Amino acid sequence: MPSSPALISSGLEVTLGGRDVLRGLSFEAQPGAVTALLGPNGAGKTTTVRVLTGLLRADAGTVTTLGLPAGHPDALARIGLMPQATGAWSGVRPGELLRYLASLYAHPQPVEALAERIGIDLSLKTPYRRLSGGQQQAINLAGALVGRPELVLLDEPTAGMDPHARRRAWALIRDLADAGVAVLLTTHAMDEAAELADHVWIMDAGRVVIDGTVPDLTRDASLEDVFLAHTTEAP
């Protein structure tokens, strides 16, 4: 019997600064699967992630995460978030940061093993803001996973990573899904979506324009061609 979705977004509408950013966005993410949300710059992906965590309230529509409304404390404890930028961690060293984040959870992953898997040197004395973009992303990813979440929201998880780090992140993300975690990722990298995603949702101007499995979507054209055919260039 198919399990119920870990995430259901239905008819989301969000207006920001007088602009209709989400315009009836509906999609789902299943446990044990990687779900990719693709869309051009400004399509509303990050806004969607903010709504899913309850950081931003939608003007209309509903979101259910792990069977609970977006932002419900019992759901948030079981959700891992990797935001696009975490300037707030500015002066903290990698080891301090991950150990602190682990301490917030009842059953965290062992920080040393997680850091090794993601390629983070816990003995680094360098503060977060002085790390390379790729190193910062690796720490952001570790921070999203340390609490053993059942649903993981990854906003452009491999942006800025070199090919080695990227492959390491991909393997980790695949293993998470294989272990039953629901993974939602946003990305601009078509190869990433094609390699990782069990289901792809392509959005444009705040709503889904086409979705399917990678084999379904790429029967007659590459994923990039499908993306280009269904989306509009950012103004």
Binding interface with ligand ATP (CB under 6 A) = 16-17, 19, 21, 39, 41-47
CB–CB of 1/10 below 8 Å?
no
Residue 160 C-beta: closest distance to ligand ATP, Å: 13
Cβ proximity to ligand ATP: between 59 and 96 the closer is: 59
Task: Report, in Å, the least distance between residue 93 CB and ligand ATP.
Answer: 28
Q: In whole angstroms, how far apart are CA 146 and each of 11, 12, 82, 109, 159?
A: 32, 29, 11, 5, 20
| Residue 149 beta carbon to ligand ATP: minimum distance, rounded to whole angstroms | 21
Residue number with CB closer to ligand ATP (10 or 46): 46
Q: Nearest-CB residue to ligand ATP?
A: 17
**Bridge-based pairing state of the strands 60-65 and 68-69:** antiparallel
Between 146 and 158, name the residue whose CB sits nearer to ligand ATP.
158
By beta-carbon proximity to ligand ATP, the closer residue of 44 and 147 is 44
The tokens describing 32, both together, are: 């044990």
Q: 17 CB contacts (<8 Å, ≥6 apart)?
A: none
**Minimum distance between the CB of residue 144 and ligand ATP, rounded to whole angstroms?**
17
39 vs 134 by CB, closer to ligand ATP? 39
* Closest alpha carbon to 157 in 205, 123, 209, 193: 193
CB of 156 to ligand ATP, least distance (A): 7
Of the candidates 220, 222, 199, the one whose C-alpha atom is nearest the C-alpha of residue 38 is 199
Question: Which residue is it, tokens 């966005």?
Answer: 25
**Rounded CA gap, 163 and 6, in Å?**
30
